[in-house]
Amino acid sequence: MLIECHKSLYFLISLALLNIVNSLEIVNYPSDQFVNLYENAIFKCKIKDYKKENDIIEWCKNDFCTWGRLIELPDGRLKYKSLSKFYIIGDRKNGEWNLLLENVTSNDVGNYKCSVTRRNDQSVFKLSSNSASLKIMEKPSTIELNHPNSIEIILDKSQDIDCIVEKSVPDPSVTWFMLDTNIFNELISNKNNLNDKRSIRLVDKKNSSFRMNIFKSSNSVYINRLSLNGSMDLLNKTVIAIIEHPLIPEPVIKSVKIELKYPPILSISYEPKEPLEEDKTYTFYCNSKSDEEIKIPNNFYFMNENHKFQSINGSIKLKLNRKMNGSFLVCEDTNLIGKSIINYSLDIIYAPRFIHVPDPIIIVNKSTDSLRLKCKVDSNPKSEIFWVKNENEIIHKGENLLLNQDLNGEYECQAKTMGFDPVVSRVAVVNEGPPSIYGQNLYFFETNKELNIRFSVLSSPSYHSGPICYKIDMNTSSVLKIIYPSRNKEKYQIYEDDLNELKISTKFRLRITNPSEDDIGIYNCTFSNQFGDSFFKFEINKKEPVNVSLALTLIIIFSIIISFLIMSILILICVQRKRNRNSMGKKSLPSVSDHSGYEQNDKLTNSQYQIFSCEKITVVNNGCMSKNLSDDRKIDNSFKKQSNQISLIMNDQNSLESLSECLKFPSDTQNLILIDKLKSISQSENSNGNNHQKANIYSSRFQTNV
Q: What is the pLDDT of residues 260-293, one digit of tens each?
A: 888 888 999 999 999 999 999 999 998 888 766 5
**Sign of the C-alpha dihedral computed for residues 296, 302, 308 and 313 taken in this order:** negative
How many residues belong to the chain? Answer: 706
Helix/strand/coil (H/E/C) assignment for every residue in 655-671: HHCCHHHHCCCCCCCCC
pLDDT for the residue 271: 93
* Whole-prediction pTM: 0.49
pLDDT for the residue 293: 56
Residue 653 in domain: yes
Burial of 222 (0-12, 13-18, 19+ CB in 10 A): buried
Q: What CATH number corresponds to the domain at position 407?
A: 2.60.40.10
Backbone angles phi, psi at 449, to 5 degrees: -130, 140
**Sign of the C-alpha dihedral computed for residues 75, 81, 86 and 92 taken in this order:** negative
For the stretch 323-376, pLDDT in tens is: 999 999 999 988 888 888 999 999 999 999 999 998 888 888 877 888 899 999
Same domain (yes/no): 149, 254: yes
Q: Is 636's pLDDT higher than 90?
A: no
Residue 208 in domain: yes
For the stretch 233-263, pLDDT in tens is: 888 888 888 899 999 998 898 999 998 888 8
Q: Is 515's pLDDT higher than 70?
A: yes
User: Residue ranges of the alpha helices (H) in 313-357?
Assistant: none
Same domain (yes/no): 269, 242: no
Same domain (yes/no): 99, 149: no
Q: Of the residues 307, 325, 345, which one is the last residue of a structural domain?
A: 345
Q: Of the residues 484, 511, 542, which one is the last residue of a structural domain?
A: 542
Same domain (yes/no): 127, 14: yes
Q: Is 507's pLDDT higher than 80?
A: yes
pLDDT band at 79 (very low <50, low <70, confident <90, very high): confident
Number of neighbours of residue 116 by Cβ within 10 angstroms? 24
Same domain (yes/no): 125, 17: yes
Q: Is 152's pLDDT higher than 70?
A: yes
Same domain (yes/no): 300, 369: no
Tell me the CB-side half-sphere exposure of residue 339, using CA atoms within 13 A. Answer: 5
Q: What CATH number corresponds to the domain at position 292?
A: 2.60.40
Residue 151 in domain: yes
Q: Is 647's pLDDT higher than 80?
A: no
Q: Of the residues 99, 118, 136, which one is the last residue of a structural domain?
A: 136
Same domain (yes/no): 438, 393: no
Residue 518's domain comprises 433-542
Residue 132 in domain: yes
161 has which bridge partners?
Answer: 226
CA distances from 278 to 71, 379, 384, 451 (A): 105, 11, 20, 43
Residue 549 in domain: no
Residue 318 near residue 273, CB atoms below 8 Å? no
The DSSP element (H or E) to which 335 belongs, if any, is none
**Number of domains making up the chain:** 6
Same domain (yes/no): 373, 330: no
Same domain (yes/no): 618, 642: yes
pLDDT for the residue 486: 74
- Say how far apart CA 324 and CA 303 lie, in whole Å: 9
CA distances from 201 to 15, 128, 237, 506, 669 (A): 59, 45, 11, 79, 64
pLDDT for the residue 223: 92
pLDDT band at 51 (very low <50, low <70, confident <90, very high): confident
pLDDT band at 189 (very low <50, low <70, confident <90, very high): low
Same domain (yes/no): 488, 388: no
pLDDT for the residue 268: 92
Same domain (yes/no): 595, 654: yes
Whole-number percent of the chain with pLDDT over 90: 24
- Say how far apart CA 493 and CA 469 lie, in whole Å: 11
**More confident call, 37 vs 698:** 37
Same domain (yes/no): 164, 45: no
DSSP of 436-487, one letter per residue? EEEE-SEEEE-TTS-EEEEEEEEEESPPSEEEEEEEE-TTT--EEEEEES-S
pLDDT for the residue 648: 31
Residue 97 in domain: yes
Residue 571 in domain: no
Q: Is 705's pLDDT higher than 50?
A: no
pLDDT for the residue 112: 93
Residue 624 in domain: yes
Residues ≥6 apart with Cβ < 8 Å to 581: 668, 669, 670, 671
